[in-house]
Structure 1
Amino acid sequence: MTALAPNHLKTIEQRLLWLSHWMIHNANHIRPKVDGIKVGGHQASSASMVSIMTALYFSALRPEDRVAVKPHASPIFHAMQYLMGNQTREKMENFRGFHGVQSYPSRTKDIDDVDFSTGSVGLGVAVTSFASLVQDYITAKAWGEDVTLGRMVALVGDAELDEGNIYEALQEGWKNDLRNTWWIIDYNRQSLDGVVREGLFKRIEQIFDAFGWDVVKVKYGALQRAAFEEPGGDKLRDWIDNCPNQLYSALTFMGGAVWRQRLMDALGDQGDVTALIEARSDDELADLMENLGGNCVQTMAETFAAIDHDRPVCFLAYTIKGWGTPIAGHKDNHGGLMNKSQMAEWQKHMGVAEGEEWEKFATVADPDALQAALDRVPFFAKGRRRYEDATLTVPQIELSSDREISTQMAFGKILDDLSKGDSDLAERIVTMSPDVTGTTNLGPWVNRRKLFARKEQADTFINEKIPSTAKWEFTPTGQHIELGIAEMNLFLLLGAAGLSHSLFGKRVIPIGTVYDPFVARGLDALNYACYQDARFMIVGTPSGVTLAPEGGAHQSIGTPLIGMSQDGLASFEPAFADELAVIMQWAFDYLQRDGEGDPDERTWLRDETGGSVYLRLTTNPIEQPGKRVDEDFRQGAIDGAYWLRKPGPNCDVVIAYQGAVAPEAIKAAGMIAEGRRDVGVLAVTSADRLNAGWTAAQRARARGNAEAESHIESLLADLPRDCKMVTVIDGHPATLSWLGSVVGHQTVPLGVEHFGQTGTIADLYQHFGIDARSIVEKVQGLTPGRQMLHRVAG
């Protein structure tokens, strides 16, 4: 298959420009309004990208390439897919409406072939570099040698380069010998609030160059380059090069006559350049001055075709924001829209007859020839590029211990046990961590499975015979990717690796570890990864004020609430090693599921859809309960809770706990039980799953299914109505406070609401009122007249 002829590229460019802008206009000015607010759609930001995207998709790309489209260019993307038959008119007419094409490209919500979701600016840019790293990781393995290398491409708004996560990704790319990555910058020099600062891109070019990127400046279109060859053309080029951004934008908006006046004022007494200007009509002069490189489809196609290496490339494509439309260049055009009269005039200019606004080939002289050309476009030749890979069998994971052990240590031991085996699952696990590999218990795994690099790198300490517990040997077969201290990079890499089965047809099982409080530092990227339906396991450890000596800076409080609120992420906080083993065995299967999502009527959770998993673990070794084999325990640990101590028929107190405070809850129950034999202890492993199931069951009942009952409702159903409940967690008390609402039990939620401080665990548990004695005191407050503390004192 060959590249399209320039005339076809120009025709496609104009069709995409019209269809994208008509879609936005229809949503804002024609479709009935019900909310009374602007629908929006970023016409100007789309227009500046249309030539770039036409040249990229219809000339440069191949099916193995992957693209992250800048958020505000989504109308161009949808118009392109509509032209190719991959998007429906119904959804185009419902742009930004319910079940219409999305505001920003979405892998999960759009029907067209979106490679990477975008929307939170900067993240779609950075994820392409990590997708390239994942591609290198896969093709370095024996099981990935048949993958065809593709380019990972980001279409970047120039204002997106204000985002710090982009520069974090640049540094990580340099460390990992990044290749096969293109970032194409739409340099229209206008952002939401103004015009990009003069001289900024000289600095940005230097940054890209310092990190080993090939920087390709695409400043002049074919018309301009031809004019520069005319007598006086060098003077015109010098004027363009020295014209400030704001002035160039303002002159573009004002049009050809003003261009002529300003150029004649500046250059008109210099002979040959005067003739160059006067040889063109006002419209021709405007076309010339607005023919920047990024607005010239021919120039962009030639520029892309000239790249003959796999080094990362930054294309700095000069464009006019709103190019080709009446609002081109105006400083307010970012969120501005053509009004009805402007659109009517522009429709005449574009040659689109009334009633043919949605016609794909309106204005096309030879539709059959254009369709034949579209049928030859290599990128679209294989159809929808969503791949699959076989589900990996999960080996039996058993971990029970009578000794004291922390969940963090248990996690490391489970991975170490897997590393000793030869299962397909172990072969596909890839771990990663932002410079906390050793302190999050990945060390044993890394020692056995090594670190990944495309080229062998020996461990100097080993070569020099210096004793060390860590063996930092880099090899193409390695299964750990070590990152710098940047949690955004961690979650972006998890997101890219978690899409490997779909992007590259090879499944990997990504596991990332991070200090639990710093989940919040990468939260935007975590949400972004989940929004794409990436599949990964994130282990936040150490967590809570149980990390006592580290103080408030390293003690997490709100992360359980993050785990509950984050869509696409099943959150767990096991207290014991055997719980963790059960949960991880289930999780490795859950990460690979892709079912229809019908609710399980036992829990009302939609587990068949699968998703990612978050484990909140701790460093505090606690005494283990011994070997447990009963099914209520195993299934309860997965579903979110089980009775560690079943309540008796006359139970008037239940202690519900999650995570590291298990010993305190158990001890408190023992103290209370001296006066109350029927006290219950509810072991919560996932407030997230309990709450999700409860909410879903309530919805089902509201819709007429009277039999719907969630797991937590089943557990609490037999409790007397006057039973009291105390909940306790090493985190925010709201995590479990809702349990009293399930059946209607009076509840006292205990937890941590304020920044921690240094001290011993006992000091901090007492300070925050989550130790055994404080729990007993709260129970006493719930039951006037019962003097339990007197009975247990001493």
Structure 2
Amino acid sequence: MDNKSKATLKAIEKKLLWLASWTIHNANHLREKADGLKVGGHQASSASMVSIMTALYFHVLRPQDRVAVKPHASPVFHAIQYLMGNQTREKLEAFRAYGGAQSYPSRTKDIDDVDFSTGSVGLGVAITAFASMVQDYIGAKDWASRRPDGRMIALVGDAELDEGNVYEALQEGWKHGLRNTWWIIDYNRQSLDGVVREGLAGRIEAIFGAFGWDVVRLKYGALQREAFAEPGGEALKTWIDTCPNALYSALTFQGGAAWRKRLQDDIGDQGEVSALVDRRSDDDLQTLMTNLGGHCLQTLMDAFEEIDHDRPVAFVAYTIKGWNTPLAGHKDNHSGLMTPKQMEAFRAQMNIREGYEWDRFEGLDLPEKELEAFLGRVAFFKDGPRRYTAAKVETPGPVALEDKELSTQAGFGKILDQLAKSDSPLAERIVTTSPDVTVSTNLGPWVNRRGLFAREEIVDTFREERIPSAQKWRFDKSGQHIELGIAEMNLFLLLGAAGLSHSLFGERLLPVGTLYDPFVARGLDALNYAAYQDARFIVVGTPSGVTLAPEGGAHQSIGSPLIGMSQDGLAAFEPAYLDELSIVMDWAFDYMQRDGEGDPDERTWLRDETGGSVYLRLSTRSLEQPLPRSGADFRQGVIDGAYWLREPGPNAEVVIAYQGVVAPEAVEAAGRIGQDRRDIGVLAVTSADRLNAGWHAANRMRKRGMKGAKSHAERLLEAVPRHCTLIAVIDGHPATLAWLGGVAGHRTVALGVEHFGQTGTIADLYRHYGIDADAIVAAASEIAPGRPVRLSGQVA
């Protein structure tokens, strides 16, 4: 790079530091605030990343590269996009306000070109490894729109390395031969509450090295390396290397005079060292001692350009938190803000005139035309925003299963097996994954037909040795299953990366992941993170509830239906029967590909055209299947969330509403209750999530003036007499269905599971928790026959 380009990069670095700092200052000190509360924004954490991000975005990155930006460097990212015309002044002025640039980069909330949402620390780091694995998966297929491999890059705060999911991802990456992944660690040696422990860099290097990563330490800038070459420089280098983190930070905050005194006290009695220090003014000495590798553009560019392979690389870039600002080095600077007085001094330092704070090139010495021309040549931005699209894959329709008795978990495996037999475009785009429970979640038949994915072939040794095995598993590039170790966080990170493949890589994948339903909660942070990015996938939690009774409480799930109801971006279903499951799965493969504008369906008031991910809560309990059912009303009811298995009559005193595999108990109880109660109804709920969401949406629309808005739940219950009692039952938390009483004002008795289970049979546990047929009948017997119950909306 010529000197002119280097000078331009230095000017951009300066401008990014100003814009990031000013954006935060404006939000906290200038913008009107009704509540008077601090807005925040992390000026110091942004400052430590400015040089790294300048070198990357304006020199190193190519359009196919993808970057997960350290959450607290969000203002720098927005400043970069503002310089490039991808962000607006209005959004920056509204940073951290409603409708403004987001606190942390967001694919779904920001207007600028965000590759990966960040904010939940550690997850933005780890997803880059899984995105690289997805890139390899796509690259191994014979698909038309093959693009050059990009580098999946994470900008990592050193404190983020405390997150355990980072190390789970490291191990999974090692297993899969991770490539094309860079993690650039902002090693400013400070965290939220203080200064990090001594020797962390060595531990980081040892850990990454153990997993096969190249480690590049960027400790000294060019000025420091030049000083080390002077007489006395070796002693200065030794002093820097042995200086405790806390002391280095404190001296940085105190400035050049403090550096001079400390160096003279510690090593200044040597003539050459004293001369080295004396040749520099206080300002020069401050510049020298803060010229760490992470703040030297030349050092950064040289290091990045020297990587000529696809092995994963960890760059440990030494930086100063708050670099080149009045906050530099202070241990309290993580959430600290420049005071108005400090900002005025910083403004003078940056040569920014009052009233010109948002001008893109204010304060720079270079001509605006030269700067514009340089920005126009930046490779990373030359093709504009890098959001791809992919064609929709048509679904073949529900797969009919003829089994007379089967569990939904086994039915799921059979449906996938039927799809695996076909050569349909849908089957070609399905990729499955599981955290070491592939067989026990019934993915085995799919894997036997479609194989496991690996970039290099791995033979099935048992087959080669002619040893009988139900699993005929081969690993090669054609495989469509990615096997993971036992880490649910990794499962959801992989589903998130694969579920963004159409946008990141321009190729449609239909990811399906399975895990034990109790352990959905173990990966919930990563599941929420994937949904927040609008990744598209199907996750199958099985076995659900207490149906894996002999395994005890550790393998029984209570709260997962509530997770399905509360998780945004995820449509949750719990079908009881195979025909319901088949309808839901066919719908799910279509739903996960939708990208409409979000106008609600006025029949349900659900925003189905926007699409999303799907969660299936399935069971190992085999149920006798009903006679074949068809018809548009039945299919639509299954998708909308509920249908009448037995419609109540005009004199109904009891309606039983159930979700999932307690269906036989509900049906048996209805038969017994019907002997002395008239017109009893049975409501089959397939999705409390969608039923509840539609009800709330219709309520909102009525408040906005659409008086005729009516949800599916309201249509189902509007004809049920007001004196009727609803008995809701599920082998999960009773709150899942308890809200039904609020729809039309019916008294509701909610039966379910609220406490950790124990070992036993299903019958034992259903009886223990009061969700068997006897308990449902007992609940009905408490209702006085023939006498209206006036406790409208009460939930027992």
- TM-score interval, normalised by the smaller of the two chains: over 0.9
Matched, 1:318 2:323: no
Summarize the alignment of residues 417-432 of structure 1 with structure 2, pairs less than 5 Å apart: 417-432=418-433
1:467 alignment partner in structure 2: 468
Deviation at 1:782, TM superposition (A): 2.1
* Aligned amino acid, residue 100 of structure 1: G
Q: Secondary structure at 1:186's aligned position in 2?
A: strand
- One-letter amino acid of the counterpart of residue 424, structure 2: S
Question: What SS class does the counterpart of residue 779 from structure 2 fall into?
Answer: helix
Report if the CA contact (8 A) 1:3-1:377 is conserved.
no
Aligned length: 786
The answer (yes or no) to whether the contact 1:4–1:59 under 8 Å persists in 2 is no
Correspondence list, 1:760-779, <5 A: 760-779=761-780
Deviation at 1:199, TM superposition (A): 1.0
CA contact (8 A) 1:727 1:736 kept: yes
Aligned to 2:356: 356
1:571 aligns with 2:577: no
Structure 1 residue 401 displacement after superposition: 3.0
The match for 2:29 is: 29
2:6 paired residue number = 6
Contact kept, 8 Å, 1:4 with 1:373, in 2: the verdict is no
Residue range with higher mean Cα deviation, 777-786 or 610-619 = 777-786
Partner of 1:65: 65
Shift of 1:403: 1.0
Alignment of 1:440-519 (within 5 A): 440-519=441-520
Deviates more, 1:138-147 or 1:748-757: 138-147
Q: Match for residue 329 of structure 2?
A: 329
| Partner of residue 654, structure 2 | 653
User: Matched residues in 1 for 2:729 and 2:170: separation?
Assistant: 43
- 1:603 matched to 2:610? The reply is no
- Residue in 2 that maps onto 1:270: 270
Structure 2 SS opposite 1:336: coil
Equivalent position SS for 2:143: helix
Give the TM-score taking structure 2 as reference length.
Answer: 0.98
Could you tell me whether the CA contact under 8 Å between 1:218 and 1:317 is conserved in 2?
A: yes
**2:346 maps to 1:346:** yes
Partner of 2:792: none
Matched, 1:46 2:31: no
Q: Say if 1:214 and 1:314, in contact at 8 Å, map to a contact too.
A: yes
**In the alignment, is the contact (CA less than 8 A) between 2:145 and 2:507 conserved in 1?**
no
Rounded to whole Å, the distance in 2 between the matches of 1:30 and 1:83 is: 22
CA contact 2:389–2:503 (8 Å) conserved in 1: yes
Match of 1:686 in 2: 687
1:493/1:393 CA distance change after superposition, 3 Å? same
State the match for 2:640 in structure 1. 639
In the TM superposition, what whole-angstrom CA distance separates every residue of 1:458-503 from its partner, at most 9, and x where no partner exists? 0111111111101221011100000000000000000000000000
CA contact (8 A) 1:257 1:282 kept: yes
Q: Which shifted more, 224-233 or 285-294?
A: 224-233
What per-residue deviation string (whole Å, max 9, x for no partner) do you get for residues 35-84 of structure 1?
12100000000000000000011111000000000000000000010011
Q: 1:305-357 deviations in whole A, cap 9, x for unaligned?
A: 11111000000000000000011000000000000000001110111111111
Alpha-carbon shift at residue 676 of structure 1 (Å): 2.7
Gaps of 5+ in 1: 787-794
User: Aligned to 1:657, what secondary structure does the other structure show?
Assistant: strand
Q: 1:457 is matched by which residue type in structure 2?
A: I
Q: 2: distance between equivalents of 1:293 and 1:490?
A: 36
Structure 1 counterpart of 2:784: 783
Instruction: Please tell me the residue identity of whatever aligns with 1:359.
Output: D
Partner of 1:697: 698
User: Which residue matches 1:671?
Assistant: 672
- Partner residue, 1:211: 211
CA drift at 1:677: 4.2
Q: Give 3-state SS (helix, strand or coil) of 1:782's partner.
A: coil
Contact 1:64 1:148 in 2 (8 A): yes
Q: State the Cα RMSD in Å.
A: 1.2
Q: AA paired with 1:249?
A: S
Partner amino acid for 1:96? R
Contact 1:184/1:317 (<8 A) preserved: yes
Change (3 A) 1:3 1:162: farther
Letter in 1 for 2:161: L
Q: 1:10 to 1:532 in 2, by over 3 A?
A: same
Name the SS of the counterpart of 1:82 in structure 2: helix
Cα pair 2:71 2:104 within 8 Å, conserved: yes
CA 81–386 in structure 1, closer or farther in 2 if over 3 Å, else same: same
Q: Deviations over 1:504-559 (max 9, x none)?
A: 00010000000000000000000000000000000000111111111100000000
How far did residue 398 of structure 1 move?
2.5
Which segment is superposed worse, 112-121 or 273-282?
273-282
Output the TM-score relative to the length of structure 1: 0.98
Is contact 2:584–2:639 with CA below 8 Å preserved after alignment?
yes
What is the rounded CA distance, in whole Å, between the counterparts of 2:167 and 2:784 in structure 1? 58
Over the matched positions of the two proteins, sequence identity in percent amounts to: 72
Q: Does 1:185 align with 2:185?
A: yes
Task: Tell me the CA shift for residue 673 of structure 1.
Answer: 1.3
Q: For residue 83 of structure 2, what is the aligned residue in structure 1? A: 83
**1:111-145: CA deviations, max 9, x gaps?**
00000000000000000000000000000000166
CA positional deviation for 1:675? 1.9
Secondary structure of 1:689's aligned partner: helix
Say if 2:409 and 2:618, in contact at 8 Å, map to a contact too: yes
**TM-aligned CA distance change 1:281 to 1:3, over 3 Å:** closer
Q: What displacement does 1:4 show? A: 8.1
Counterpart of 1:549 in structure 2 is 550
Structure 1's 134 and 3: CA in aligned 2 closer, same or farther, altered over 3 A? farther
1:280 alignment partner in structure 2: 280
Q: Is the CA contact (8 Å cut-off) linking 2:399 and 2:418 kept in structure 1?
A: no
The 3 A distance-change label for structure 1 pair 396 and 683 is same
Instruction: Give the partner amino acid of 1:763.
Output: D
What CA distance in whole angstroms lies between the structure 2 residues aligned with 1:413 and 1:573? 17
> Conserved in 1, the CA contact under 8 Å of 2:145 and 2:506?
no
Q: How far does the alpha carbon of each residue in 1:714-753 deviate from its partner, in whole angstroms, 9 at most, with x for none?
A: 0111111111110000100000000011000111000000
The residue number in structure 1 matching 2:290 is 290
TM superposition shift of 1:151: 0.2
Q: Contact 1:139 / 1:145 at 8 angstroms: preserved in 2?
A: no
Contact preservation (8 Å) 1:400, 1:626: no
The 1-side partners of 2:486 and 2:144 are apart by 29
Report the Cα distance in structure 2 between the residues aligned to 1:319 and 1:447, rounded to whole angstroms.
Answer: 51
More off after superposition, 255-264 vs 390-399 = 390-399
* Structure-1 residue corresponding to 2:160: 160
Contact 1:3 1:58 in 2 (8 A): no
Which amino acid in the other structure matches residue 727 of structure 1?
A: A
More deviation, 127-136/541-550: 541-550
In structure 2, the residue matched to 1:560 is 561
- What CA distance in whole angstroms lies between the structure 1 residues aligned with 2:759 and 2:684? 28
- Show the counterpart of 1:116: 116
Deviation by residue 1:362-386 (Cα, 9 ceiling, x = unmatched): 0223111011001000000000000
- Aligned equivalent of 1:393: 394
**1:165 alignment partner AA:** N
Partner residue in 2 for 1:790: none
Q: Aligned partners of 1:318 and 1:626: how far apart in 2? A: 69
Q: What residue in structure 1 maps to residue 405 of structure 2? A: 404
Aligned AA (1:460): T
Instruction: List per-residue Cα deviations over 1:407-461 (Å, max 9, x = no partner).
Output: 0000000000000000101000000000000000000000000000000000111
Contact 2:653 2:678 survives alignment (8 Å): no
Matching residue of 1:132? 132
Give the letter for the 1:728 counterpart.
V
Report the counterpart of residue 791 of structure 2 in structure 1. Answer: none
Give the deviation of 1:34 after TM superposition.
1.0
Q: State which drifts further: 397-406 or 45-54.
A: 397-406
Q: Per-residue deviation at 1:2?
A: 10
Aligned AA for 2:505? F
Task: Identify the residue that residue 715 of structure 1 maps to in structure 2.
Answer: 716
2 CA distance for matches of 1:604 and 1:276? Answer: 74
Q: In 2, distance between residues paired with 1:170 and 1:620? A: 37
Distance 2:762 2:404 in 1: 19
Cα distance in structure 2, aligned partners of 1:210 and 1:403 = 53
2:233–2:276 Cα contact (<8 Å) kept: yes
Task: Measure, in 2, the Cα distance between the counterparts of 1:782 and 1:598.
Answer: 43
